[in-house]
Amino acid sequence: MPSIILVAGMHRSGTSALTRAINLAGVPLPSNLMPPSTTENADGFWESVDLMRIHDAMLQSLRSGWNDPREIPGDWFSGSAGADARRALTGWIEAEMRGKDTLLVKDPRVCRLLPLWQIVCGAMGIETYTVIPFRNPIEVARSLKARDGFAEMNSFFLWLRHVLDAERFSRGRARSFCSFDQLMNDGLGTVRRIASELRLTFPTPDAELGALLSEALKPGLRHHAVPHDEVTEACERIPPLLVTYRWLLDAAEGKTPPFETLDEVTYRMRMSEQTRGIAIAVPGASPPPTA
């Protein structure tokens, strides 16, 4: 069965580095990749320009955008309001999968749009695998402030939305969690663990892949590094941030933390949006279930 590996991670969380690492392990990327940027990712973003535009159009149809932390109503993914989005994604996948057995897809927007991918790929007979890379929210917030001028609290909500959606929508499916620290400290071991957890085989031999990763995962990829104690202290000011980050760390270490921990955070965010009257409105749509 053809397959797609989806890299579903928050912006500024090492998604480009991880995608390149898996690509070097032998998994092909889409065409028309976003060009490198000397101010952001000099080595490349490893994501499709065409797919990014399709995803942006989907979010714009919901009066949303990449920097919107609000929840997308669940009925949109499979309902009539999302029909154009499903057609657009189907067309892109058909073109990119032509002549391929597998494809590696990375775009942080996938976190919020994962159910759409699962519906479309299921209809096309394509198996999906999800890799969820994450980075501590303090470093992410500092990176977004430097690049986009975002306020810290806005970045925290955006981080929560992306990691919570990626986890909840991939629950019960083939998936693997990966921290930025794990990738940078042991690139080869991390890539091999991901393959094992997904029950996939990446074709590049270890000796060759190790050399390639040593070159690709350079220390200079990491900016805005924050000591662990400072991360914990900062996160303690915002309990949902701390419990979510700790949950992800446990998951990346192969533990099985309780889903109820993240479900509670998701519920509180949803209630906050509804109370403030800012929830995304789609005709005939209802929010997805808590669990």
Question: In which band, very low, low, confident or very high, does the pLDDT at 170 lie, cut at 50, 70 and 90?
Answer: very high
91-147 pLDDT per residue, tens: 999 999 999 999 999 999 999 999 999 999 999 999 999 999 999 999 999 999 988
CA proximity to 120, closest of 54, 167, 63? 54
pTM to 2 decimal places? 0.93
- Check the CA dihedral 13-19-20-22 and report its sign: positive
Q: Which residue is it, tokens 């998936």?
A: 175
Q: What is the DSSP letter of 65?
A: -
Q: Is the pLDDT at 283 greater than 60, yes or no?
A: no
Q: What is the mean pLDDT of residues 12-34?
A: 96
Question: In which band, very low, low, confident or very high, does the pLDDT at 224 lie, cut at 50, 70 and 90?
Answer: low
Q: What is the pLDDT of residue 221?
A: 62
CA proximity to 193, closest of 176, 218, 171? 176
Domain ranges of the chain: 3-276
Q: Is the pLDDT at 290 greater than 50, yes or no?
A: no
Beta-sheet pairing, 175-179 with 102-106: unpaired
Q: What is the pLDDT of residue 18?
A: 97
**Tokens found for residue 48:** 């499709």
Q: What is the mean pLDDT of residues 33-41?
A: 81
d(CA 231, CA 245): 10
Query: 3-class DSSP state for residue 139?
Result: helix
Residue 236 vs residue 11, higher pLDDT: 11
Q: Which fold has domain 3-276?
A: Rossmann fold (3.40.50)
